[in-house]
A and B are shown apart, each in its own frame.
Chain A
């Protein structure tokens, strides 16, 4: 078997198959986002009123909206907006959630305070919490990111704390302490590095739910500003005309579906690879 064949076999084998499918599907969206101007030739914000509400054709693959804007271009550029928001939220959640989780798990005194705040935040359904925060702070990309991150941080914190509680009782941590390692070093090298696989899994989950939540918020009109091409906006714009121009709502929705499926499949794959015991879960 040549090297190429071996790699092919490995990638299509049981262990990596889901990851390969997930990464492949996600790459399509990523490429759309990065190379948006090359893929969509029309300007997503160009008002071409004489050509409004056109059905899908070779000139306008997904048709045109009520202002004559090309829906294909808007959907492709929408990938930029959606990914930028959901990736920022996931990174923010990761950084803050891991930090709070490590502290809550390691320092008993801070645990009660941090965890009760997290319990309280968990009690708000994430879309409602995001809704009220955006309502208070005002619409806009940064506020949407803050709101969605706040809604998802508790699940990361809870999970990291849970692992820290078991890991910190292990012998290697005691050994590190005995040999005089500083607390920061113990937390990072001896505890955090052991949490990486479950963190990866939960962060992919957050990426998926955030993509859905951002689209829902924007659809409700309390998320991103209407002129920004985003999937929630496009569907919300098309909604008024569903009886005459169904394509304006149906087609862009597939972009959300595709992205969320790709991330979920990737998440399942990563989980199975990192921890075969969880394969059935």
Chain B
């Protein structure tokens, strides 16, 4: 296990190098001189030259890459040109609503998806199963931004139950108030994953239910409750772990869309405005941060597997 952990940690290095390389290349894909593009049409020659020097664009490309890596591994993901601050600091200020939104979406998706998938599997091929699977199909097929707009129309504008847009930080209005603001956004984002979770858990339940040891458990006279809860569910939940791991990165992507729809001043909305302001330093830092979190979370999920399922052997 320790060996495996170390080897997996080492294997992160090439992935992170390539992740950094991809982001580095994308910045160089901007047609024309990035410094001129970033500063806009009113910039003077000297300003452009100064920025080129600051960004290191006047140096040979290989040296730029080495520089970029050494900064990256020191945790310096560059500066935001618009805010004139380290990009990470700007992102950190906007992280609270985004993290809360992601956590709430995940909780909502699990709260809907897990029971739906479990019930569907237990009532396989019945009316209930079909109904739940149609619901799950709707979940994975509904564009979250459109669902969000529909929720605003129904629950904010018509019924007035929830605020339509915006966010009040926890420090100003308390956690409950912040969650109240984020409920509709979290639901619109979580609904999609609820559908996915339901489908995954249903199939893995069915898989486990047809295995020999479940037949044995039933044959030796265990109650149906203990067959389902102890023998089936514990094993069937393992694939859900992978699903959650993959969800986390995609939630960060989804948050960009949802925060725009609901006008939540989070990290996702920051990226969109950074793109419009051509603040590539900020965009670069954000995407790199998300990718790193994804890589680390997935490593964590893989390691957790071993804890949850001792049968798994790592060679």
Q: A210–B266 Cα gap in the complex (Å)?
A: 25
B307 at the interface (CB under 8 A from A): no
Q: A146–B292 Cα gap in the complex (Å)?
A: 23
B173 at the interface (CB under 8 A from A): no
Q: Please, which residues of chain A bring their CB within 8 A of the CB of B19? A: 120, 123-124
In the complex the two chains form, is B137's CB within 8 Å of A261's CB? yes
Q: A120–B21 Cα gap in the complex (Å)?
A: 9
**Residue B141 contacts which of A127, A135, A264 (CB distance < 8 angstroms)?**
A264
Q: How many A-B residue pairs have CB under 8 A?
A: 142
Q: Please, which residues of chain A bring their CB within 8 A of the CB of B203? A: 280-281
In the complex the two chains form, is A257's CB within 8 Å of B275's CB? no
Instruction: Count residues of B near A (Cβ-Cβ below 8 Å).
Output: 53
Q: A170–B292 Cα gap in the complex (Å)?
A: 38
Instruction: Count residues of A near B (Cβ-Cβ below 8 Å).
Output: 43
B31 at the interface (CB under 8 A from A): yes
B222 at the interface (CB under 8 A from A): no
Q: Please, which residues of chain A bring their CB within 8 A of the CB of B141? A: 208, 212, 257, 260-261, 264
In the complex the two chains form, is B257's CB within 8 Å of A123's CB? no
Q: Please, which residues of chain A bring their CB within 8 A of the CB of B206? A: 280
Q: A136–B24 Cα gap in the complex (Å)?
A: 11
In the complex the two chains form, is B137's CB within 8 Å of A249's CB? no
Contact with A along B210-243 (1 / 0, CB 8 A): 0000000000000000000000000000000000
Tell me the A242-281 residues at the B interface (CB within 8 Å): 242-243, 246, 249-250, 253, 256-257, 260-261, 264-265, 280-281
Tell me the A99-157 residues at the B interface (CB within 8 Å): 116-117, 119-121, 123-129, 131-133, 135-138
Please give the distance in Å from A229's CB to the nearest CB on chain B.
16
In the complex the two chains form, is B137's CB within 8 Å of A123's CB? no
B145 at the interface (CB under 8 A from A): yes
Binding site for A on B (CB under 8 A): 14-15, 18-19, 21-23, 26-27, 29-31, 137-138, 140-146, 149-150, 152-153, 157, 202-203, 206-207, 249-250, 252-254, 256-257, 260-261, 271-272, 275-276, 280, 283-284, 286-287, 290-292, 294-295
User: Could you list 9 A-B pairs, sorted by A, with CB under 8 Å?
Assistant: A116-B14, A116-B15, A126-B250, A212-B141, A216-B143, A216-B144, A243-B157, A249-B150, A264-B140
**Minimum-distance CB pairs A-B, first 5:** A125-B253, A120-B18, A253-B146, A260-B141, A127-B253
